[in-house]
Amino acid sequence: MADEQKIESLLAQMTLEEKIGQMTQVRHFDDITPEDIKTWFIGSIIHTQGPTPGTDAAGWQAKFVELQKIALSTRLGIPMFFGVDAVHGQNTYSGATIFPHNIGLGAAANAELVEQTAAITAVEARATGFNWVFSPCVAIPYNEKWGRVYEAFSESTDITTKLAAASVRGHQGQPVSLIATAKHFIGDGATDFGVEGGNTTLSYEEVLERLLPPYRAAVEAGVGSVMASFNSLNGVPMHAHRKLITEVLKGSLKFDGIVVSDWKAYSRFGGTDVINAGVDVVMAVEGDFNMYVEGVRQGVVSGVIPQERIDDAVRRVLRQKFRIGLFDNPFPDVTLIPKIGVQAHRDVARQAVRESLVLLKNENIILPLQKDTRLVVVGEFADNSGFQSGGWTINWQGTTENYAGATTILEAIRKKAATRVLYDKDGQGVDGDAEVAVIVVGETPYAEFMGDIGGPMNKYQLTLTEEHQKLVDQYTAKGIKTVVLLISGRPLVVTKQIEQADAFIAAWFPGSEGDGIAEVLFGDYDFKGKLPHSWPTSEDDYTGKYGPNFWDDRVKPLFPIGFGLTYTNPRSSKNT
Residues labelled as active-site residues = 262, 448
Residue 239 identity:
H
- At residue 360, φ and ψ (nearest 5 deg) are -95, -25
Distances (CA, A) of 296 to 8, 72, 265, 302, 570: 21, 24, 13, 10, 61
Q: Estimate the share of the chain in helix, then strand, then coil, as percent rounded to the nearest 5.
A: 40, 15, 45
| DSSP conformation letters of 355-413 | HH-EEEEEGGG-PSPPTT--EEEESGGGG-HHHHH-SSBSBTT--SS--TT-B-HHHHH
201/217 Cα distance (integer angstroms): 24
The vertex-204 CA angle with 199 and 207, nearest 5°, equals: 75
Closest CA to 206 of 549, 530, 531, 470: 549
* 3-class SS of residue 423: strand
Closest CA to 21 of 303, 244, 416, 318: 318
For residue 418, give every residue at least 6 positions away whose Cβ sits within 8 Å of its Cβ, in sequence order, or none. Answer: 371, 372
Range 4-22 burial, b when 16+ CB lie within 10 A, else e: eeebeebbeebeeebbbbb
Is residue 228 within 8 A of residue 185, CB to CB? The reply is yes
